[in-house]
Amino acid sequence: MAEAIVFYGLAALILGFAVLVISTRNTVHSALYLVVNFLLVAMLYVMLGAEFLAAIQVLVYAGGIVVLYLFVVMLVNLKRPPETHQDPRRQTRLGLALASALLAELAAIIVYSATGESAPAATAAAAAGADIAGGNVEQIGMLLYTNYLIPFEVASMLLLVAMIGAIVLAKREL
């Protein structure tokens, strides 16, 4: 019961702040709503028992990526606010139509999966996963540094490329 109240409250807030992110005129306000949205999603991870994910959500998203966004908003500060001029090619209607088509598609999938046979209980999978003991972070670490060793090293390569790419793109003014 308590879980249901917390979930519905969080869900309403998450969706509400997401709508604010995409609907606000002021880009700085958008970034601030994005922080709130990320923090609420972190709470959702806690409810799902993914504590490590919640921690890095706050650490990387709310603490790092949004700061990057804010700096870029400051850097491209325009004297004339963007989107004030009415653009004839503005494709709001097409966008909303595409989004609602996608929504219908997803609704169909949900209805189909709800009426079809229910997902098998987690017992078999739990037995498979139970051999990894310890808390959430230990489990993630065990999997990350054994089964997913190559993706882990590739991730470092990706970060390297991103760093060099960003420096090259921004360097001209240095």
Is 11 or 117 the residue whose CB approaches another protein more closely?
11
Residue 83 neighbours by CB under 8 Å, 6+ apart: 25
Is 1 or 117 the residue whose CB approaches another protein more closely?
1
Q: How far is CA 125 from CA 14, 59, 148, 149, in A?
A: 30, 30, 19, 22
CA distance 127 to 120: 13
Please, what is the minimum distance in Å from the beta carbon of residue 147 to another protein?
A: 8
Alpha helix (H) residue ranges in 123-148: 123-129, 136-144
Is 22 or 117 the residue whose CB approaches another protein more closely?
22
Residue bearing tokens 């090259």? 168
Please, what is the minimum distance in Å from the beta carbon of residue 39 to another protein?
A: 10
Q: How far is CA 54 from CA 19, 38, 113, 130, in A?
A: 22, 10, 28, 22
Please, what is the minimum distance in Å from the beta carbon of residue 84 to another protein?
A: 10
Please, what is the minimum distance in Å from the beta carbon of residue 112 to another protein?
A: 12
CA distance 52 to 85: 45
Please, what is the minimum distance in Å from the beta carbon of residue 117 to another protein?
A: 14
Residues 159, 166 contacting (CB under 8 angstroms): no
CA 166 to chain centre: 22
Is 117 or 119 the residue whose CB approaches another protein more closely?
119
